[in-house]
Amino acid sequence: MTGSFFKVVVESAVMGFAIAAPVGPIGVLCIRRTLANGIPHGIASGFGAATADAVYSSLVAFGLTAVTALILKAGTLLSLVGGTFLLYLGITTLRSTI
């Protein structure tokens, strides 16, 4: 019983790591620098990649916040334009011949 349980745990851990840590181009770069230049260079590459991801994520989050604020300010105008467009589509659909 214990042997099979341990085997299942090890296999599950291997599967989890295989799914959770896909090796993309940045991962390969970090691995390559670690093997070629040593662990400090690999760690520095990893921190650089993580920093770039954090900066991109922050830009997206702040950009989304700005767009949301703009949409909320222009909500009435957007509603009128969207409603008018939907009326236009409805009228042209009703008048079209199939």
For residues 4-28, give the mean pLDDT: 80
**From the CB of residue 40, how many other CB atoms can be counted at a distance below 10 Å?**
10
Residues 46-84: tens digit of each pLDDT: 899 889 888 888 888 888 888 888 888 888 888 899 999
Question: Please, which residues have CB within 8 angstroms of residue 11's CB and are 6 or more apart in sequence?
Answer: none
Q: Please tell me the distance from the alpha carbon of residue 40 to that of residue 82, in angstroms, as a whole number.
A: 56
pTM of the model: 0.49
